[in-house]
């Protein structure tokens, strides 16, 4: 597999370091640090088209604040928003995994209870899709690529 990555143009080494920045893999020579970007990787959450459904289960501990937050989100007017969300569970949003993650972050920050169907495979609290694949430079030989 050493033929996949050519030897470093500067020093001839076949030992590389790799780093992920967003969706791009960057390779650089482990010896002289000459580098170049090699490929793109789409994080799984960005490739997961779902669909997932976000359901508001109640207005939570602060219903007035929840209604104001939901009204800001949808702009129906506070009375219409109250009518829509005060009758129990209500579908709020349907979308792909990343869009649902973004919506869930808004709901979590407003302390509005919700659930996602079908089962959502990403951790809403600690997962950060914007930085999920960023790492420091890691050593890798061309045979591992």
Q: Give the pair of three-digit tokens for residue 35.
A: 């580098």
23: left (phi over 0), alpha (psi -120 to 50) or beta: alpha
Task: Give me the pLDDT at residue 145, please.
Answer: 39
Task: Give me the pLDDT at residue 141, please.
Answer: 42
Domains of the chain: 1-41 (2.20.25), 45-117 (3.30.1390.10)
Task: Give me the pLDDT at residue 132, please.
Answer: 55
pTM: 0.63
Output the tens digit of pLDDT for each of the chain's 145 residues.
345 678 888 998 888 888 776 667 778 888 998 877 666 767 788 889 999 999 999 888 888 999 999 988 888 888 888 888 877 888 999 999 999 999 999 999 999 999 999 999 988 887 776 655 544 444 444 344 3
**How far apart are alpha carbons 29 and 64 in whole angstroms?**
58
Task: Give me the pLDDT at residue 38, please.
Answer: 65
Task: Give me the pLDDT at residue 53, please.
Answer: 97
Residue in this structure with the two tokens 């009518």, named with its chain if needed: 83
Task: Give me the pLDDT at residue 87, please.
Answer: 77
């Amino acid at each position: 597999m050493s033929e996949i990555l050519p030897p470093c143009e500067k020093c001839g080494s076949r030992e590389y370091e790799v780093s992920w920045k967003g969706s791009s893999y960057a390779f650089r020579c482990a010896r002289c640090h000459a580098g170049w970007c090699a490929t793109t990787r789409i994080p799984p959450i960005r490739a997961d088209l779902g669909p997932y459904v976000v359901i508001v289960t109640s207005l939570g501990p602060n219903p007035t604040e929840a209604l104001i937050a939901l009204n800001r989100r949808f702009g129906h007017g506070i009375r219409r928003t109250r009518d829509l969300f005060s009758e129990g569970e209500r579908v709020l949003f349907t979308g792909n995994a990343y869009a649902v993650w973004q919506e869930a972050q808004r709901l979590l920050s407003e302390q509005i209870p919700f659930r996602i169907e079908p089962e959502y495979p990403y951790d809403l609290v600690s997962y950060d899709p914007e930085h999920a694949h960023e790492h420091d430079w890691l050593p890798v030989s061309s045979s591992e690529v």
